[in-house]
A and B are shown apart, each in its own frame.
Chain A
């Protein structure tokens, strides 16, 4: 056989037959050894559970069916690959010690966290926002607006969405106060190990504020109040710094003539010791190296009852995790001491609140829109809406315009349990909203939305249901997170409104179809004894 050019270029291998065989067998043996362990740890289970179901679409064209099926297949393959990687034998054995080594010896964080000196941690997207290109740069906006692969494109420019929201509120006689909240890296850059004094804003931020103010909006930039105002190992501000912001907000609200007889709110002081969300994101080793922090929070009470949002209030706060950090016990820093509570205390007036822990660019507007779509006019009686979001959203968020339409009709045949009762049903998953990857998001809990079809209940009940379920708790995926289109599941449902007070602020993803905006959601838990 003639020797080809590639063979000549590679050159004849100089190795003894024994060494060649030994080396090759060793490599193959190592590969096989790990492969067998991988298959036993997760491979067989994951492959056995792998299935793709393509449910009929309303459009019966072949091309649509192909594209729809292709998307479902891609999602299933990606889910399978994630499971094999995250739960494999190697990953579960290597990742914890590797993380400890990187942190302790190399002072390297991970994909989500920068480890600065003197025990300071920073959320990587925050740093990327601060040092990155101006978020209003035309080329940056164009790049972000392009869909990446098959992902849905985002609306990168915050200005149209904010101005549109303000106009919709103005049409109802409501004023918008914007509260863009600086991320930690903006005001504590020196704690990253770099050299900086004062604020380090994204290149487009000041121009952004100027443009909105020129358009008649009120922008309350709390940066001057937040110097030295952040937790060391958490993404968020300290309670005392947040209180200063609440005080400033109260003054701004009072200046708009929103006053009334005092509601008698009082504060009780409590010391809370917690571990920052960034420590959780560091994974193994984080808790060994980064100790807990202690803060003093002020819980707001009214008489003997704890503070609650009031839907009849003249002020509505739309906020993200900065608003929630001391309000939601699940975040680990106490409860009933958040931004809305402090605002309420300083105003001595009730405040309504819609908060979600992430996606401040659209999540709370979306929540508000869904409330209105389901016939609950959350804007009735409101005179001021305060919209708080983390500044990183300006560069990374999806700033879609969201219409606020008050509707009254309900879609037919969406099952909703009777008030105060539960309903046991069995159904097929037709669609499930996106689920975050544990360790890569700055929150520990997440709720996903499912569309169930072919729902069967007792006494001949049938139809479909829009169900919210835990998809992640304490940075661990639940069984619901592994559900795929086509899976059959048995659930115990109750009305969402019965758990909303406790769960509304938890970060969640919803399904985008307009039908679901109208549907009354249920809260679902896997029925005891049923397969999860």
Chain B
């Protein structure tokens, strides 16, 4: 089920909101959990079973970390103190949580890549050995997100940064919350711990939630989808002119941004409707002045997760310059692998890792950091755009061919069939509007902060327009659903 669908908007959402506010407070987490499993299981009921198993393992690990006795006064579980040494069983519990989550992620996400890589290497070395497996492992929706989220729970409890949840229902609710389950934001347990216990429901939150939801829906339907058509036309071609290649790459850069940030806005908006505050996930990333700055603004929940749970434990910048560059490279490489089980994603991550290391060597500034700010923004965007080619292409070979086309180093097509789409006035207009929003408009969070009559009418108008267009278009899932 996707947010920008008929089923979600006019069947699931009204039902969810209605039942949530009619239910007594103590039953709301159970209700949300049931609704969330229904939302998730719509794509495949078996995925729901997998989610339940993963949730159960992490819940037990969380309980094992602090023991099974509750505070008789509050009924809550105790919180570990940060500076107390951990016992062997506590270390074992957090290890089990991390290993089981990574094992799930590893198997479902990377099994096929492992088999394919083995076979490719065997063929390359002239060996007849190959894994001739007839089955392919299907990737459960959102597994990359909820495994990271569950791990953050165990690690935060282990570190003493949050008290564990006593109730399994509450924990299951935290993991499966439908607004953020399949494509984030990755919500660290410590960010939500207090909200699971107490949160308020006000008209202001409901209004802000609707404002963000409609802004996100508009971004997805009115900007991401038409820009995506540009990208599909260009990336789906055997050969293309350089102009079309650049238009396609630009289309994808806009598509992925508005698709993902639109989804995040909708998720945050839905959270507010239910009284939750989710972290922001984007902060005008295409206005970044360097790659370092870009990663402070893009998919913030993932980059901070990687920083806190991977980069810092690896040593961060505390073990000398060379180790710092290596750590950055490793984190981005793994970040690329997190996005997709294919070598083009690894290359994408590796490129960003190299760029980050290079900027770190230059004092956390871009190599062009001495240029005027608009130039820095432009050059950073071009670098990001070029790396997106690896992200969007079907495979490494396709990415390299596409880049060659961008720089005019491929045979020109016999007919301008790609231009039929890439130079259609409507799609060019959508790209121009997208550019305007990216570089001139305030972010959704900023714009919806001040809700006056004019903005309310504008949001209603774009929201309704988005619904109309959504109704007349085919199925349009969110890009990050595949990660």
Contacts and interface: CB of A to CB of B under 8 A. Distances in A.
Interface stretch (A12-20, A249-257, A310-318): A12-20
A23 B42 contact: no
Contacts, number: 204
A114 B468 contact: no
A102 B425 CA distance: 12
Residue in A5, A24, A98, A195 with the greatest tally of chain B CB atoms within 10 Å: A24
Contacts of A91: 6, 471-472
Given A23-B211, A94-B472, A131-B238, A9 B279 contact: yes
A32 B417 CA distance: 44
B394 A139 contact: yes
A185 to B, nearest CB: 7
A497 to B, nearest CB: 38
A79 to B, nearest CB: 12
Interface string B415-439: 1111110001010000000000000
B417 A200 contact: yes
Contact of B415 (A22, A133, A196): A196
Nearest to B475: A85
A23 B450 CA distance: 13
B358 interface: no
A24 B206 contact: yes
A5 B161 CA distance: 14
A194 B420 contact: yes
B414 A84 contact: no
Contact of A27 (B394, B413, B460): B460
Residue in B46, B205, B268, B417 with the greatest tally of chain A CB atoms within 10 Å: B417
B45 A81 contact: no
Contact of A6 (B207, B208, B279, B416): B279
Interface stretch (B7-15, B53-61, B321-329, B331-339): B7-15
A22 B207 CA distance: 8
A7 interface: yes
Nearest to B273: A24
B453 interface: yes
Given A19-B207, A84-B7, A131-B237, A111 B474 contact: yes
Interface string A189-204: 1101111101010110
Contacts of A114: 420
Interface string B276-319: 01111000000000000000000000000000000000000000
Given A19-B207, A20-B204, A94 B238 contact: no
Given A132-B236, A193-B420, A6 B277 contact: yes
Residue in A27, A28, A35, A190 with the greatest tally of chain B CB atoms within 10 Å: A27
B76 interface: no
Contact of A13 (B13, B416, B449): B449
Interface in A58-96: 66-67, 70, 73-74, 77, 81, 84-85, 88, 90-91, 94-95
Contact of A106 (B205, B395, B420, B426): B426
Given A24-B210, A81-B7, A4 B203 contact: no
Interface string A513-532: 00000000000000000000
B239 interface: yes
Interface in B194-211: 194-195, 198, 200, 202-208, 210-211
A19 B420 contact: no
Residue in A10, A21, A190 with the greatest tally of chain B CB atoms within 10 Å: A10
A321 interface: no
B34 interface: no
B451 interface: yes
Contacts of B448: 13
Provide the main secondary structure of the chain A interface. helix
A146 B413 CA distance: 28
A11 interface: yes
A48 interface: no
Contact of B204 (A15, A106, A111): A15
A149 interface: yes
B415 A200 contact: yes
Contacts of B46: 66-67, 70
Nearest to A198: B414
Given A10-B280, A15-B451, A149 B138 contact: yes
Contacts of B460: 26-27, 30
Contacts of B204: 13, 15, 17, 20
B417 A1 contact: no
Contacts of B375: none
A128 B236 contact: yes
A269 interface: no
A84 B473 CA distance: 14
A35 B419 contact: no
A189 B420 CA distance: 10
A379 interface: no
A308 B395 CA distance: 51
Contacts of A35: 10-11, 14
Contact of A90 (B42, B208, B471): B471
A102 B427 CA distance: 13
Interface in A429-469: none
Contact of B207 (A24, A77, A108): A24
B117 interface: no
B450 A4 contact: no
B264 to A, nearest CB: 12
B420 A10 contact: no
Given A127-B417, A194-B415, A90 B210 contact: no
Top 4 closest A-B pairs, CB basis?
Answer: A196-B415, A194-B416, A15-B451, A189-B415
18 contacts: A4-B277, A6-B279, A9-B445, A14-B451, A15-B450, A19-B452, A19-B456, A20-B202, A28-B206, A90-B467, A94-B468, A99-B472, A131-B418, A133-B236, A134-B238, A143-B395, A196-B415, A200-B415
Interface of A: 1-2, 4-7, 9-15, 17, 19-24, 26-28, 30-32, 34-35, 38-39, 43, 66-67, 70, 73-74, 77, 81, 84-85, 88, 90-91, 94-95, 98-99, 102, 106-108, 111, 114, 116, 127-128, 130-134, 139, 143, 146-147, 149-150, 185, 189-190, 192-196, 198, 200, 202-203
Interface of B: 5-7, 9-11, 13-14, 17, 42, 44-46, 112, 136, 138, 191, 194-195, 198, 200, 202-208, 210-211, 214, 236-239, 268, 277-280, 394-395, 397-398, 413-420, 424, 426, 445-446, 448-453, 456, 460, 463-464, 467-469, 471-474
